[in-house]
Copies of this chain bind each other. A is one copy, B any other.
Amino acid sequence: MATYILRISCPDEKGLIYRITQILYQRQLNIVGNDEFVDAQRRYFFMRTEFAGTCQPEELRAQLQGALPAARIELGRPRRREVVVLATSESHCLGDLLLRHADGELQASIRAVVSNRPDLESLARRFELPFHCVPSEGMGRQDHEAALLGVIGGYAPEYLVLAKYMRILTPAFVGRFPHRIINIHHSFLPAFAGASPYRQAFARGVKIIGATAHFVDEQLDQGPIIAQSVIPVDHTHSAGDMAQAGRDVEKVVLARALKLVFEDRVFVSGNRTIIFD
């Protein structure tokens, strides 16, 4: 028997779970996992259901949509997502993703690695993946992004993963992949603006280095947060040691965020995520 994942989000009202599960029950589908959450502030309802059974997904989807006209409904088999990874020159996140990919652990199919620099080509080649260098030197931002899109478009990816891609993307670019671009960056307590954050963190003597994985947002540098973690440091860590600690936590947090997203466990509600893990 096949397994399906059903995701529904809509304005909250009475009877939503009842109406949804009624339809599943009438079709003799067996719910094996179910999570709901109501964002009380926004009065919005989120539900993720895993069910098993025989099912015409398009027909079921239509019936659910008929019952819940205001809802966003996604229904499908669990599947590996088509992904393009963007990176610049640091290898720790890309390497970790490629290892997990090679082990079949990623719930994604990495189609290609794209970079604005040539450094990571050998790493991508070790794992027999296409590598495209799209240098930005001497190009305006718009032209560079057009070139990027030219390369990326050929793979028609569902998600872009920014695995330490160090250039800012324009709202126009981001707008083509709404909540489909996932980024990882270091985070500090307190936060440091400006250049050389690790040097600032060192000068301030922080005791913790963090990392945040988030969706990239059109308006904001930082969109909804998917996962965060930290690693302890102390005065014996140089700025370089802190950067190394940061790399160790970044790769773990990015992998965790991708797992959550690719398993369809993440909803976006305003600027927050609802995560059913």
Binding site for B on A (CB under 8 A): 14-18, 21-22, 24-25, 28-40, 91-92, 95-96, 99, 102-103, 105, 123, 126-127, 187-191, 202-208, 210, 212, 222, 224-230, 234-236, 238, 244, 248, 252, 255, 269-275, 277
Give the number of times this chain occurs in the complex, counting copies.
Answer: 4
Q: List 26 A-B contacts (CB under 8 A).
A: A14-B25, A14-B30, A14-B31, A17-B34, A18-B21, A18-B22, A22-B22, A32-B40, A33-B36, A33-B38, A35-B35, A40-B238, A96-B99, A105-B244, A126-B126, A188-B189, A189-B210, A202-B272, A203-B270, A203-B271, A204-B225, A207-B225, A207-B226, A208-B210, A208-B229, A248-B255
Identity of the chain B residue whose Cβ is nearest the Cβ of A13 in the assembled complex: B30
Chain B residues whose C-beta falls within 8 Å of the C-beta of A34 in the assembled complex: 17, 36
Closest 5 CB pairs of A and B: A205-B272, A18-B21, A191-B191, A95-B99, A187-B189
CA distance A244 to B103 in the complex (A): 12
CA distance A206 to B277 in the complex (A): 16
CB <8 Å contact, A271 and B204 = yes
Chain B residues whose C-beta falls within 8 Å of the C-beta of A25 in the assembled complex: 14-15, 18
Q: Which of A32, A34, A206, A273 has the most CB of B within 10 A?
A: A34
Chain B residues whose C-beta falls within 8 Å of the C-beta of A188 in the assembled complex: 189
Majority DSSP secondary structure for residues of A touching B: mixed
Identity of the chain B residue whose Cβ is nearest the Cβ of A128 in the assembled complex: B126
CB <8 Å contact, B95 and A91 = no
Q: Which of A17, A229, A234, A271 has the most CB of B within 10 A?
A: A17
CB <8 Å contact, A92 and B96 = no
Chain B residues whose C-beta falls within 8 Å of the C-beta of A35 in the assembled complex: 35-36
Chain B residues whose C-beta falls within 8 Å of the C-beta of A30 in the assembled complex: 14
- A207 CB, min distance to chain B CBs, angstroms: 4
Chain B residues whose C-beta falls within 8 Å of the C-beta of A39 in the assembled complex: 235
Chain B residues whose C-beta falls within 8 Å of the C-beta of A212 in the assembled complex: 189-190
Identity of the chain B residue whose Cβ is nearest the Cβ of A235 in the assembled complex: B274
Identity of the chain B residue whose Cβ is nearest the Cβ of A19 in the assembled complex: B25
CB <8 Å contact, A28 and B14 = yes
Chain B residues whose C-beta falls within 8 Å of the C-beta of A91 in the assembled complex: 99, 102-103
CB <8 Å contact, A37 and B189 = no
CA distance A274 to B207 in the complex (A): 11
